[in-house]
Amino acid sequence: MVRSVPAHGEHGPAKLDGCSLPDIAMSFATATALREIPAAAHDGATPAIAAVRGEIEVRLAMRHAGARVLRLRYELVGRADAPVVLVAGGISAHRHIAANAVFGEKGWADGLVGAGRALAPSRRRLLGFDFIGADGGLDAPIDTADQADAVAALLDALGIDCLHGCVGYSYGALVGQQLAIRHPQRLGRLVAVSGAHRPHPYASAWRALQRRAVALGQLQCAETHGLALARQFAMLSYRTPEEFGERFDAAPEVVNGRVRVAAEDYLDAAGAQYVARTRVNAYLRLSESIDLHRVDPAAIGVPTLVVAVEGDRLVPLSDLVALVEGLGTRGSLRVLRSPYGHDAFLKETDRIDAILANALRLPGETA
């Protein structure tokens, strides 16, 4: 049974039977915050679905920033006897994957979690965590390898020997690749959606300009305006010309003597929403982290399903084909056609769910 991290003074959690633990250059402190409230079972024969939030402190040897003491925040939702799946999204994602009976606020991937889904908490225990640097408190280069080591530390603290799988979208796919390289004993399989083994130079150029927009805002003492502009640039790279042509094909208007095009309301809303929930330093450091990512596909040590989207301008299909070719017999590829580009994993929820149902299936289990 997976047990949550105890409060100070209690004994540590029992380990799940399974993979042996590798040596990791890190040390742990006990959790400093924890809340576990099981949702009521529908009948006496159905195990309760628990929702846990907590924090641990970990001393981590970071690749570019030396040894640091960091706080890792997580959420674990699902039946205690279910196989555990790590779900990690883009740099804007966080530990709250989806609304549940205990933590009812909207999650970043609500459409992919729920009854009847491959990621139903009645079938899988879902682990989400806040990326290192997501709170804006770490002003240092952050490598995806650091994120993978943090996951391994979190698994130790939670008493989870092996994950049944990791489902990684965008940045989460990069972290999943590093986990499969650095800690393959901890992972059964990887589903990497819209995340390659290296950043494409075109995408890196987009991100560099976004970071310059933030820097320009900082020079003008208006860093949130710079961050909003960076997010608006990002929305153009996430989506496709086809979607914009369908949604915003309207004549411009003259407002207060200025020409305003149809997409500007959408972009303004996207920028305002992002600024309201994101710290500037968190954005800058996690954006850099994407561009630092480089791995050898041949080093990925677990079966890996790569999901690509035609028309994704940030992670081109050709790069994901190269990733699968480098994986050899451990790799397979699924390709989606979608007008949503890089954001397809959040919009094409039914199609992604069908892929996950097969990828995460246990022996003898029907989709």
3-state secondary structure of 237: helix
3-state secondary structure of 116: coil
Outline where DSSP puts E strands in the chain.
Answer: 26-28, 33-39, 49-62, 66-79, 84-88, 125-129, 165-169, 190-193, 253-255, 258-260, 304-310, 331-337
The yes-or-no answer on residue 170 being catalytic is: yes
> What residue type is 250 in one-letter code?
A
Catalytic residue (one of 312, 319, 343, 353): 312
Residue 309 φ then ψ, to 5°: -125, 120
Catalytic residue (one of 92, 94, 149, 170): 170
**What is the C-alpha separation between 265 and 292, in angstroms, rounded?**
33
**What is the C-alpha separation between 318 and 157, in angstroms, rounded?**
39
3-state secondary structure of 254: strand
The yes-or-no answer on residue 343 being catalytic is: no
Q: Could you tell me if 102 and 39 are in contact, meaning their C-beta atoms sit under 8 angstroms apart?
A: yes
Catalytic residue (one of 164, 183, 197, 342): 342
Outline where DSSP puts E strands in 152-295.
Answer: 165-169, 190-193, 253-255, 258-260
Q: Which residues are catalytic?
A: 170, 312, 342
